[in-house]
Structure formats: C-alpha cells, structure tokens
Amino acid sequence: MPDGMAYKARMNRREFLQATAAAAALSTMGAYAAEFADQKKRVGLIGTGWYGKCDLFRLIQVAPVEVVSLCDVDRRMLAEAAEMTAARQVSRKTPRTYTDYRQMLKEKDLDLVLIATPDHWHALPMLAACEAGADIYVQKPIGVDVVECQAMVAAARKHKRVVQVGTQRRSTPHLIEARDRILREGKLGRIAHVEICCYYHMRASENPPDTAPPDYLDYEMWTGPAPMRPYNKLVHPRSWRAFMEYGNGIVGDMCIHMLDMVRWMMDLGWPRSVSSVGGILVDKGSKANISDTQTATFDFGEVKVVWQHRTWGEAPDPKYPWAATFYGDKGTLKASVMGYDFIPSGGGTPVHKDVTYEFEQYPEDKTEKDLERHVAPAIRGHMKDLLRNIATRGKCVADIEQGYISSASSILANLSMQLGRSLQWDPVKGQVVNDKEANHLLRRPYRAPWVHPDPAKV
C-alpha cells in the first residue's frame, strides 16, 4: 500500500475509533439528551469523593456537558476522578485539576459548579461560585450552621444564580407518584401526624488512634474553617460525619432528607417550633461525638412531624428503616427510597410501588463502583430539573430557599437538644424567638484565617 493510502487508512481508523467512543458515550445519556443539546455547559466539581462522582456521572448521562475542572484536597482521589471523568465524558478530555477551589473558580470559565464536599465546606465554595457567575448544584445540608444557610440564599438571589440542592427525594419517580396519586388525590384524608425515622447502624463504632495525615491529603485545607482536630482515619474519607465539628450528625445527614420530602409532599413551609432530646445513650466507647439516639418534633401547627433515629437495636418496620409514615384519617402511607405502601382504612385496596431502576437506559449503573443504584434515577431527575431551570432562569424543585428551610430546621433540632428546650422560629427575622443564647449558636466560630459569611454582606 502506498504511504499516502496507509496514512489515510490509519486516519480513517483513528476517526472511526474516536467516533465510536463518542457514540458510546452519547448512548449513555438516554432519550433526554436532545432536550439539553444546546446547553453544552462547562462543568466543575468541588469534592471528588463518593457522592461528588455519583452526582457528576449522572449529569454526564443526561446532557452533553464538558467537565473542564475538578477540585479536591486529596490528590489521590482527585487523580482517580480525573481519569474516570475522561473515560465517561463524550470528548474524552481529562479535566484540569486543582487542590484549591479558589484557584479553580478564578478561571471564571464554568457555567455550572457541583459541590460535594463535607458539610463544613459547602458555604464558602458556593458563595465563591455565585460570585464567579456559575449556576450551582450543592449537596445537603446547604450549610453547617444557620447563618451560613442564610448567606447562601442571599448570594444566590443577589447574583441571580440557579441553585439545586441535593435533596433528591423531590425527584424520585415513585415518590412523585405517591405525592400525586395518594396525597394530592386526598386518599389519606386529613393528615395531622407524620413519623420520619432512620434506624441504620451507621454511626462509627470504632475508636482508632490519631495518626499523622497521609501525604496525599492537605489536612490543613481539608479542615478549613472547622476546628482543628488531630487527624484520624474516621475523618477522611467518608466517615467525617462521626464528628459534629464537620456536620450535624445523623439529623443533618438523614433527617434532612425525610423532613424535606415530607415538606415537599405536603407543601409545608417553616416549622413553628423545633424540639429535640437525645444523646450518646448506648455506644459510649466510640470516638464519634454525634448522638446515637435522638427524637425531634417539628411543629407545623396542625401537622406534627416527629423524627427518630437509633444506631442500635431493630427498626420497628424492617421494610422501612429510613422512611416517612403519613397518618391520615382515611389511610396510612409509608414511603422510602425503596418504594411506598398505601394502606387505606376500612379494608380498601392497598397500593404498593417499588423503586424505579433504569438499567436498560443506563447500563453503566450496574457496574459503577459505590453507586446507590436505587438513587441514580432520582439524581438524574434532579439534574434534568436543574438544566431546565438554567434554561428558563427559574427555581429548581429543590431551590436554595427550600434547602435553607430543611437544613436550618434540622440544625435547630440539634441546638434544641444541646440547650434542653424547645425553640420557636421566626422565619421573617431568621432568628429564634426571645432566646439570645440560641441565636448566638446560629453562627459557628470559624477557624482563622477563614471568615464566616455575613448574609448582609455577600
């Protein structure tokens, strides 16, 4: 074969392989990709751990975005995420990597920023992303304290940013069906009491020794505005929720999801008051300092929503260990991430629905490491809702204000338990009524040189 023909054959083969790879990537996006074909967003991710990748890869599945930058203080985790992202996105380009979100956002070349850091690192990157002109997907709870949450709402509104909060129960297919078919059609009748719960044994039970941080982790930056604790393997990765320094315990992790789901399904706003009791009552040997037992009551007036978690013992209903139970005078609805059951009063026909999977449309879900497969459709739905609202400049189903209400309400539950009294909330002033001590606790101290955001100055 002449040299020119050989070169042409090699080029044709290379172009064929590139086209095949691109087609394979596009095939993972599903039927909705065309809806967002003109929204080729430039995307950055801050926090490339477990859920950061889950969120990012679901976005890649539904829209032809270009992931141009990734940021993490763990260099090993960052490199792995860059490699995985290059293999997943259509262009096959490897994103730029950063260990400081400020440097990433300084480029001002991002349309959309995803934030999936530990909770104590949600607020500052979100505020910086607003200033950089990006729209935002931020994980829940939006802030680690109430004033952070207020600053985040203020920044989103000031900079006219579209923000979706990772309370993806609002985009879970079977829960949308339960809301529409059961609640909105009045099949429960009058609802005055809802129980929400989590009985997973998810609290860290170990007491490992403190050590030096690994050389691939910038522990100073990881700690950021939080109090500096000695490094411990429970801190990073994924077990940081064992410590109140970085989050709000199981209430801030699991209660917020169920409380937000109930608020959305019943169209509830702020609770009038929040009260909570509990503590470390059973597992006293662990290094974890979050409660292992806690009850909280969110009083919405004619509706009381009662939370319970235990990280020990058995769940009252093994089919619904993390769930909401709506009690109406015409029937009962049990709802969770795995499905729902409607049990009518008086011997009517019950309704059962299992979680929706989408393995035929998105076969890569079957093999993706650490993916919560039952949650993947909800994350995709959340991303689609975000993209639609970016196009219209509307408010997402889990808009930042809804995230504020659910986040702050959960934080107030912990403050009530800490103070030993019920807290009455004034949503207009954004303060606890007639409680100077409680209002002082709405803003956590920041470790220097980090400065706590002020809602009036963002």
Considering the domain boundaries, does residue 379 fall inside one? Answer: no
Which has the closest alpha carbon to 333: 189, 125, 147, 160? 189
339 and 266, same structural domain?
yes
Whole-number pLDDT of residue 2: 41
- Please count the structural domains in the chain: 2
Whole-number pLDDT of residue 33: 59
Q: Which residues have a Cβ under 8 Å from the Cβ of 399 and sit 6 or more positions away? A: 163, 164, 165
Total-model pTM? 0.93
Domain, as residue range, for 228: 170-373+400-440
pLDDT of 4 above 60: no
Question: How far from 434 is each of 74, 198, 419, 439, CA to CA, in Å?
Answer: 44, 32, 14, 9
Q: DSSP string of 26-67? A: HHTT-GGGGGGTT---EEEEE--SHHHHHHHHHHHHHS--EE
Question: From start to end of 170-225, where are the E strands?
Answer: 191-198
Considering the domain boundaries, does residue 381 fall inside one? Answer: no
406 and 350, same structural domain?
yes
pLDDT of 247 above 70: yes
Q: Which of 138, 168, 198 is the last residue of a domain?
A: 168
Considering the domain boundaries, does residue 76 fall inside one? Answer: yes
Q: Which of 124, 148, 168 is the last residue of a domain?
A: 168
426 and 332, same structural domain?
yes
Whole-number pLDDT of residue 18: 43
367 and 301, same structural domain?
yes
Considering the domain boundaries, does residue 449 fall inside one? Answer: no
88: part of which helix (H) or strand (E)? Answer: helix 75-88
Which has the closest alpha carbon to 53: 26, 39, 74? 74
Considering the domain boundaries, does residue 8 fall inside one? Answer: no
241 and 128, same structural domain?
no
271 and 178, same structural domain?
yes
What is the spatial distance between Cα 143 and Cα 444, in angstroms, rounded to a whole number?
A: 11
201 and 130, same structural domain?
no
Whole-number pLDDT of residue 37: 76
- For 266-298, the pLDDT digits (tens) are 999 999 999 999 999 999 999 999 999 999 999
Q: What angle do CA 277, 279, 282 make, to 5 degrees?
A: 130
94 and 177, same structural domain?
no
194 and 131, same structural domain?
no
Considering the domain boundaries, does residue 139 fall inside one? Answer: yes
315 and 195, same structural domain?
yes
Other C-beta atoms closer than 10 Å to the C-beta of 185 total: 9
- For 138-168, the pLDDT digits (tens) are 999 999 999 999 999 999 999 999 999 999 9
Q: Which residues have a Cβ under 8 Å from the Cβ of 255 and sit 6 or more positions away? A: 196, 198, 296, 307, 309, 410, 413
Q: Which of 118, 151, 168 is the last residue of a domain?
A: 168
134 and 35, same structural domain?
yes
248 and 154, same structural domain?
no
Which has the closest alpha carbon to 112: 45, 53, 54? 45
What is the spatial distance between Cα 42 and Cα 407, in angstroms, rounded to a whole number?
A: 28
Which has the closest alpha carbon to 438: 401, 402, 413? 413
